[in-house]
Structure 1
Amino acid sequence: MKQTIIEEIKRIEAAEEVTIWYAVESGSRAWGFPSQDSDYDVRFIYTRKPEWYLSVQERRDVIEYPIDDLLDVSGWDLKKALMLLRKSNPSLIEWLLSPIVYQKKGKLAEELLAMVREHISLRGLIYHYLHMARGNYRDYLRQDHVKIKKYFYVLRPIFACMYIETYGTEPPILFSELLAQPNIPVEVVNEVNSLLNRKLAGDELDWEPRSDILNAFITSQIAYFEEAVSAVDCGKPVGYDKLNDLFRRYVNQSATN
Structure 2
Amino acid sequence: MREQIQKVLMTLEMDKDMKVLYACDSGSRAWGLSSDASDYDVRFIYVHKREWYLSIDQGKDVLEVPRSAFPFGESILDISGWELTKALRLFRKSNPSLLEWLHSSIVYTEPFSTMDRMRELEQKTFSPISCIYHYLKMAKGNFWDIRQGNDIKVKKYLNVIRPLLIIKWIEINHTFPPIELRFLVERLLPFGKLKEDIEMLLNRKIAGEDLIVDLKMDRIKEYVEKEFEHLENYIKGVKNEISNPTESLNRLFREALDEVWGK
Which TM-score tier does this pair reach, normalised by the shorter chain?
A: over 0.9
Residue of structure 2 in register with 1:3 after alignment: 3
| Structure 1 pair 162–142 and aligned structure 2 pair: CA distance change class (3 A) | farther
- After superposition, the C-alpha distances for 1:180-216 in whole angstroms (9 at most, x for unaligned) are 1244462211001112112222223255665111111
1:207 and 1:115 map into 2 onto residues whose CA distance is 46
Contact 1:146 1:209 (C-alpha < 8 Å) held by counterparts: no
Structure 1, unpaired ranges of 5+? none
Q: Aligned AA for 1:244?
A: N
Residue of structure 1 in register with 2:12 after alignment: 12
Structure 2, unpaired ranges of 5+? 68-73
1:5 and 1:145 map into 2 onto residues whose CA distance is 32
Contact 1:90 1:125 (C-alpha < 8 Å) held by counterparts: yes
1:235 and 1:125 map into 2 onto residues whose CA distance is 14
Cα shift at 1:255:
2.7
- 3-state SS in 2 of match to 1:146: coil
Contact 2:154 2:204 (C-alpha < 8 Å) held by counterparts: no
Task: Determine if the alignment matches structure 1 residue 250 to structure 2 residue 237.
Answer: no
Q: Which structure 1 residue ranges, 4+ long, deviate > 6 Å from structure 2?
A: none
Contact 1:145 1:208 (C-alpha < 8 Å) held by counterparts: no
| Structure 1 pair 125–96 and aligned structure 2 pair: CA distance change class (3 A) | same
| Alignment map for 1:191-230 (pairs within 5 Å) | 191-206=197-212, 211-230=217-236
Contact 2:100 2:179 (C-alpha < 8 Å) held by counterparts: yes
Q: Aligned AA for 1:253?
A: E
* Cα RMSD after superposing both structures: 2.0
| Alignment map for 1:1-257 (pairs within 5 Å) | 1-67=1-67, 68-143=74-149, 146-184=152-190, 186-206=192-212, 211-256=217-262
Contact 1:44 1:75 (C-alpha < 8 Å) held by counterparts: yes
- 3-state SS in 2 of match to 1:27: coil
Contact 2:2 2:108 (C-alpha < 8 Å) held by counterparts: yes
Contact 2:139 2:160 (C-alpha < 8 Å) held by counterparts: yes
Q: Aligned AA for 1:45?
A: I
- 3-state SS in 2 of match to 1:29: coil
- 3-state SS in 2 of match to 1:55: coil
| Structure 1 pair 182–204 and aligned structure 2 pair: CA distance change class (3 A) | closer
Contact 1:62 1:74 (C-alpha < 8 Å) held by counterparts: yes
- After superposition, the C-alpha distances for 1:141-188 in whole angstroms (9 at most, x for unaligned) are 454982232111000000111111111211111111110124446221
Contact 2:132 2:167 (C-alpha < 8 Å) held by counterparts: yes
2:170 and 2:125 map into 1 onto residues whose CA distance is 14
Matched length: 257
2:188 and 2:88 map into 1 onto residues whose CA distance is 34
Q: Aligned AA for 1:214?
A: I
| Structure 1 pair 115–16 and aligned structure 2 pair: CA distance change class (3 A) | same
